[in-house]
Amino acid sequence: MSSPVWKKIAIPFAILLFPVVFWLVLITGKNHFKTLPIYGPVQISESGDTTYHTVGNFHLLNQSGKWVSDRDLEGKIIVANFFFASCTSVCPDMNAQMARLQSKTGAFNDVQLISFTVNPERDSVSVLADYASKLGADPDRWWFLTGNKDSIYTIAREGFLVSAAAGKDAEDFFHSQDLILLDSKRRIRAMVDGTVYKEVDSLFQKIELLRYEESGQTQ
């Protein structure tokens, strides 16, 4: 006698429960269906193949006095910004957030932070070493780069698609307060305001999502 009653209760319950379970599966598996956008100019060939904008090559000195290049970063996800050591406006806040990001990504061996100076004439290796030390920068995981001014400005404008132009003195340098996320193919995947705490938190989430994407687990 109890079996028909049980069925009368169980069947409607199962019907109502199924959409809830399905929704939970979608929510918990959302990273499988989500990827970051790719920014910058896009070229489409006659055959329909898409070529995305990528950041070009560089060969510069880091704060340890070592020549480094993009070749040293194969397979790495990159977070980059542009600053100068004597900047007293946005740079201190921006690089404080970079330091926080260094801490948050400490377990990620595939993430590299790079800060390019837009005033290489003043920002020598020793200046950058002192600046980096005050921020607690790990010289292996967070590079502060100086070198040829034209090369830096070219990679800023044409590679990272930011503005960097010299003015009359150091404080007249135009520089971006963006933190720029590149995937391992050197494509721009995100740009956030590096002076805003919540924006940098969102960048960390984007880094996690990009790492997940590059691991081949997205669909």
Please work out, in degrees rounded to the nearest 5, the angle formed at the alpha carbon of residue 116 by the alpha carbons of 110 and 118: 170
Output the pLDDT for position 174.
61
205 within 8 A of 192, measured Cβ to Cβ: no
Statement to judge: residues 113 and 56 lie in one domain: yes
Domain tally, the chain: 2
Residues 186, 55 contacting (CB under 8 angstroms) = yes
In a domain? residue 150: yes
Q: Are residues 100 and 14 in the same domain?
A: no
For 177-215, b where at least 16 C-beta lie within 10 A, e where not — what string?
Answer: bbbbbbbeebbbbbbbbbbbeebbeebbebbebbbebee
**Distance spanning both ends of the chain, measured CA to CA:** 49
* pLDDT tens readout for residues 154-190: 999 999 998 755 554 444 556 689 999 999 999 999 9
Mean per-residue pLDDT over the chain, rounded:
86
Q: Is residue 200 part of a domain?
A: yes
C-beta atoms surrounding 141 within 10 Å: 14
Q: Are residues 99 and 200 both part of a single domain?
A: yes
- Say if 40 falls within a structural domain: no
Residues 100 and 15 in one domain: no
Confidence of residue 49 (pLDDT cuts 50, 70, 90): confident
pTM listed for this prediction:
0.81
Specify the range with the lowest mean pLDDT, choosing from 7-16, 21-30, 82-91, 184-193.
21-30
CB 209 within 8 A of CB 189: no
Is residue 192 domain-resident?
yes
List the domain range (segments joined by +) for residue 24: 2-33
Residue 160 lies in a domain: yes
Give the least confident one: 8-12, 39-43, 130-134, 214-218: 8-12
Q: Is the pLDDT of residue 79 over 90?
A: yes
β-partners of residue 50 are 44
Is 65 within the bounds of a domain? Answer: yes
Q: Per the domain annotation, does 202 fall within a domain?
A: yes
Closest CA to 74 of 158, 182, 206: 182
> Do 141 and 169 share a domain, yes or no?
yes
Residues 68 and 154 in one domain: yes
Given pLDDT bands bounded at 50, 70 and 90, which one contains residue 8? low
Q: What is the CATH number of the domain that holds 94?
A: 3.40.30.10
**pLDDT-wise least confident of 23-37, 57-71, 80-94:** 23-37
User: What pLDDT digit, counting tens, does each position of 90-139 carry?
Assistant: 999 999 999 999 999 999 999 999 999 999 999 999 999 999 999 999 99
Strand-pair partners of 79: 113, 181
Indicate whether 93 and 181 sit together in one domain: yes
- 16/65 same-domain check: no
